[in-house]
Amino acid sequence: MALLIGTLCTGAVSMARDEMKNTDITKYYLYLNVRDQVLTAYEKDDNGEYTRIVRRMLCSTGAELTPTPTGTYKISGKERFGKFAHFNGEYARYWTQVVRGIYIHSIGFGGRDVERLLRTPFSNIGKRVSHGCIRLYVEDAKWVYYNVCPGSSITIGSDTPLLSKEEKKSLKTPLDYAAYKAYQATITDDEQELADRHAWVVYDGAQLRTGNGSNDEFIRKLKEGEEMRVLQEGDPWVKVDIDGREGYVKRIYITYEKGVIETYENGRATKTTTEIYAEPSVKAEVLCRMPRDTSLNILETDPEEGWYKIRYWDIEGFIRIRKTRVDTSMFPYDEDAQLSAYAARMGVDSSGTLLVGSAAAADEALLRSEVKQDDLLDAGFAG
């Protein structure tokens, strides 16, 4: 492989407005068993394997029509007490981003007020009822928030041993709603939040949306130079407050340094949810998955074989070149055109039907899996 000149560089970010109790991205590994509705945090044993159970947490994951996506992802942005931009007036504490609109967070609240815990999400803990997010008791969401830092790995699946009824029952709080409501209101933070970062729009027409997906509800277009308060950092989407309205904007359309554009025209980003392989082969071990539109840090390129070697957090691995695109940061962004082009590249029409003779037609099962996964992650904000 040859060195690639002119890779995309967006710079390091803290991804949180709090000081983390742990900043080692290899210290904890999360495994979510959607069959048991249990999230487990592991530490490494003496052999360097994640076998030591640190904490087990009962949760609620996605309902049948809005399932929580499976795979291995990297933890990203954090927010201490956030609003669901897609759902009027609902909030949750201790948000930890898994991928795009899928978060680990507490059961819901009727406002940014610890006295307004909602009864139904509390009663449904342990059931598949969410819009895709992973709901936890407040104390568990707080533990994940402060200890599982950005860059840590989480795997979502169902292949760990089945828990006994007694083990699962032991994870459920013995408190009824009234008692738990009073208890969780006493859960506080040791320190004040860090000062908000501010950012500025660098492209006219950048879109503010209710979630971090191109299919989420459009709020309004932004003007070059507009200033915003950053609520949750991330890539490819950032949650912001601009003129009192909360929403999401793509990372490539803002800058943390006023007047400075932080991306390059010849940079690249993922065009679908993308697997990172340990070797340049689809038969190699899958190390992780990157969401669509994630900026790439490309180390080497082999166009003849169709692979990039990349770095993603602490991982060095390989992705297929055909799963990437030129970053749109340096030219106007047309949402409809981008979606149409994406569908054409993937070999489907607007209804999801395979196009005869498309490059992807020979790999129908993989194609449908990729499109379904991206549709799931773009379906709207997952609460």
For 211-262, write each residue's pLDDT tens digit.
Answer: 877 667 889 999 999 999 999 988 788 999 999 999 999 888 899 989 887 7
Q: Per-residue pLDDT for 1 more than 80?
A: no
Q: What is the mean pLDDT of residues 258-281?
A: 84
**pLDDT at site 218:** 87
Contacts of 267 by beta carbon, 8 Å cutoff, 6+ apart: 6, 7, 8, 9, 295, 296, 326, 327, 329
Q: What is the mean pLDDT of residues 61-78?
A: 93
Q: What is the mean pLDDT of residues 45-67?
A: 95
Q: How far does CA 50 lie from the centroid of its chain?
A: 22
Q: What is the mean pLDDT of residues 198-215?
A: 86
**pLDDT at site 210:** 86
* Prediction pTM value: 0.82
* Strand pairing class (38-44; 29-33): antiparallel
Q: How far does CA 256 lie from the centroid of its chain?
A: 21
Q: Per-residue pLDDT for 355 more than 50?
A: no
Neighbours of 236 (CB within 10 A): 23
Tens of pLDDT, residues 314-344 = 999 999 999 998 875 433 444 454 445 445 5
Tens of pLDDT, residues 102-154 = 999 999 999 999 999 999 999 999 999 999 999 999 999 999 999 999 999 99
| C-alpha–C-alpha distance, residues 242 and 158, integer Å | 40
**pLDDT at site 336:** 53
**pLDDT at site 265:** 57
Per DSSP, 244 falls in state T
Q: What is the mean pLDDT of residues 263-269?
A: 70
Percent of the chain past pLDDT 70, that is, above it, reads: 79
| C-alpha–C-alpha distance, residues 15 and 103, integer Å | 14
Q: What is the mean pLDDT of residues 187-202?
A: 90
Q: Per-residue pLDDT for 383 more than 80?
A: no
Q: Per-residue pLDDT for 199 more than 90?
A: yes
Q: What is the mean pLDDT of residues 55-66?
A: 95
